[in-house]
Chains A and B, each alone.
Chain A
Amino acid sequence: MIKDITIGQYLPGDSVVHRLDPRIKIILSTIYVIDLFLINSFLGYLYVAIFTALVILISKIPFKYIFKSLKPILWILIFTGVLNAFLTPGNVVAKVGPFSVTDKGLYLAAFMVIRIIFLIVGTSVLTLTTSPIALTDGIELLLNPFKKIGVPAHELAMMMTIALRFIPTLIDETDKIIKAQKARGADFESGNIINRAKNLIPILVPLFINSFRRADELALAMEARCYRGGEGRTRMKQFNINKNDYLALTVMLLFVVISILSRR
């Protein structure tokens, strides 16, 4: 059960999208998201749908993975839709008990739902085609210029790397602790909420203690390997922005222009 959680849901591949520089991909995704909020017509969203579908096709990600990423937010979508449909003032088109649905409400609901769907699909394309490490590197490199104003770019990236490195280890460890306490007669499946929360103590305490121990040892090992923060550090992996990256950027800008022209 706990082992089924997947982090970063990266799908290795060799498409043009996969090979884009992570910095460019993060910038592209940001532009895409901003564009989603600028668009205010269904025609605009039609363009977005075509553009997004094309990107997915080029990236060779099976559509089923894209839909899978929408599953967890299904309830948010329904909630947003319903809330907008009922709470927006306008001409009443239907009545459900004391609540009424308005034409404006329906319009807005459809709008919001479509917007969220594209938001999730767009960012999923980013995480599905970019390994967590590349993503971390990209964020660090993009934040680097802001170091002067106090943004801890390297430290943030280091924290993300370590978190990614230790998540599988901690999941394994949690699994083991749960089993060990079960072997001592612990029952995590029954009882009321308070009892269940209490029952978590025998899992959480060892997990925390072990994590602190690991953190201690890791810090020592990092120091022994001459780690002293980001200052004066070099990187083995160099990122180069090439022809494809510029092409992608151009295509994205063209798309933004077209979609903004669709504004009413």
Chain B
Amino acid sequence: MEYMVEVNNVYYSYRKHEQDKEHLALCGVNLKVKKGEFVVVIGHNGSGKSTLSKHINAIYLPKEGDIFVNGMNTRDISKLWEIRQTAGMVFQNPDNQIVATIVEEDVAFGPENMGIDPEEIKRRVDFALRSVKMEEYAKHAPHLLSGGQKQRVAIAGILAMKPKCIILDEPTAMLDPSGRKEVIDTIKKLNKEEGITIILITHFMEEAVDADRVVVMDDGKIVTEGTPREVFSKVELLKDLGLDVPQVTELAYELRKSGLNIRQDIITIDELVEELCRLR
């Protein structure tokens, strides 16, 4: 099996209130995520990105179409727990996903649910806390940690389940810049060093720069996808969708528009400096 996650022509709709009309949240989404890939899904609130992420963890089941996680159909109820263990999920609010009153006990929560041997749980908890650099805080109370630290504990809680894939639903939305950096660095490290497939949902463009692939969603559909370079170069489209582009990309776009002959796909400061030096 080549793909970690396969989303095949998925439709999903829901009603907010009984009397409301069906709201179409996903309409015909197709997405294939390779094993070990780092995919960023971007879009504004209500674009369907969060709904999509909850499908991969079998929290929602599609109205139409199928989703496969490591070859398992999310409709297959007998595979439910295996799917949730394979594709772990980290949520937006760090406060509302920590269950226990001690960091290491919280990290142990997942493996405990899976019925794993106590000795093995201990090993996994140590490993998971080391991976997110929170081993010093093993005995601390979670409510006294910073937002970034809490979110790293939440990631450790998923890691201890030995997932093959982690889905993160706007994990940085409630954090300050340093917390955001801690979390993103942790995610990147897990992808590179542990080979874990990452699906990161966000609306911060900066977080997509190092991804293997960026998927842009709007109105329940995938509007465009490609390498960060390919996607960011579509400045006008992104702006139309109400999304930001990194300042250098925007500047490069403005300069091109003003008639400078520079590359269209600039995403880092160094690239723009190089281009401008060439023009001098």
Chain B nearest CB from A162 CB (Å) reads 7
Contact flag A232-B115 (CB < 8 Å), given A161-B99, A164-B101, A221-B96 = yes
Is A227 a contact partner of B91 (Cβ separation < 8 A)? no
Q: What separation, in Å, do the CA atoms of A142 and B55 have in the docked complex? A: 39
What CA separation (Å) do A259 and B6 show in the bound complex? 72
How far apart are A138's CB and chain B's nearest CB, in angstroms?
14
**Does B7 make an interface contact (CB < 8 A)?**
no
Interface hub of A161, A164, A228, A236 (most chain B Cβ within 10 A) = A236
Among B84, B122, B158, chain A packs the most CB atoms within 10 A around the CB of: B84
Per-residue interface assignment for chain B, residues 45 to 77, with 1 indicating a CB less than 8 Å from any chain A CB and 0 otherwise: 000000000000101000000000000000000
Chain A residues with CB under 8 A of B161: 225-226
Q: Judge if A117 is at the interface, Cβ distance under 8 Å.
A: no
Q: Is the CB of A225 within 8 A of B143?
A: no
Looking across the interface, which residue of chain B has its beta carbon closest to that of A238?
Answer: B118
**In the complex the two chains form, is A236's CB within 8 Å of B108's CB?**
yes
Contacts of A217 in B (CB 8 A): 91, 93, 96-97
Residues of A within 8 Å of B111, CB to CB, are: 234, 236
A209-241: CB near B (< 8 Å → 1, else 0) gives 000011001101111111110001111111000
Task: Give Cα A220–Cα B173 distance, bound, in whole angstroms.
Answer: 18
B110 at interface, CB cutoff 8 A = yes
CB-defined contacts of B102 to chain A, threshold 8 Å: 133
Q: How many interface residues does chain A have, given as a range?
A: 20 to 34
A228 surroundings in chain B (CB, below 8 A) = 81, 113
Cβ A237 vs Cβ B105 within 8 A? yes
Residue among B59, B93, B101, B108 making CB contact with A224, cutoff 8 Å:
B59
Complex alpha-carbon distance, A238 and B108, angstroms: 13
Question: Contact: A225 with B118, CB < 8 Å?
Answer: no
CB of B185 within 8 A of chain A?
Answer: no
B142 within 8 A of A: yes
The smallest C-beta distance from A220 to any residue of chain B, in angstroms, reads: 6
The answer for the CA separation of A125 and B111 in the assembled complex, in Å, is 33
Choose from A218, A222, A227, A234 the contact partner of B118 (Cβ within 8 Å): A234
A165 and B88 form a contact (CB under 8 A): no
Please tell me if the beta carbons of B59 and A235 are within 8 angstroms of each other in the complex: no
Asked whether, in the complex, the Cβ of B142 is within 8 Å of the Cβ of A165, the reply is yes
Say yes or no: B143 contacts A220, CB within 8 Å.
no
Known: A168-B143, A220-B91, A225-B109. A236 touches B99 (CB 8 A): no
B98 an interface residue at 8 Å Cβ cutoff? yes
How far does the alpha carbon of A165 sit from the alpha carbon of B153 in the complex, in Å? 14
Tell me whether A236 and B113 are in contact (CB under 8 A).
no
Which residues on the A side are within 8 Å of B122 (C-beta)? 236
- A235 x B99 contact (CB < 8 A): no
Residues 153-186 (chain B) with a chain A CB within 8 angstroms: 157-158, 161
Answer whether residue B251 sits at the interface, using C-beta atoms and an 8 A cutoff: no
- Cα–Cα distance between A228 and B84 once the two chains are bound (Å): 12
Query: Is A169 in the interface zone, CB < 8 Å from B?
Result: yes
Q: Does B233 contact A (CB under 8 A)?
A: no
* Contact in complex: A226, B99 (CB < 8 Å): no
Taking the complex as formed, is B40 at the interface, i.e. its CB lies under 8 A from any CB of chain A?
no
A133 to B117, CA, bound (A): 20
Contact of A226 among B91, B96, B110 (CB under 8 A): B110
Contact of B125 among A164, A214, A236 (CB under 8 A): A236
29 A-B contacts, Cβ less than 8 Å apart?
Answer: A133-B105, A161-B99, A162-B99, A169-B95, A214-B96, A217-B97, A218-B99, A221-B91, A222-B109, A223-B59, A224-B59, A224-B89, A225-B84, A225-B109, A225-B113, A225-B158, A225-B161, A226-B81, A226-B85, A226-B161, A228-B81, A233-B112, A233-B113, A234-B116, A234-B118, A236-B104, A236-B118, A236-B122, A237-B108
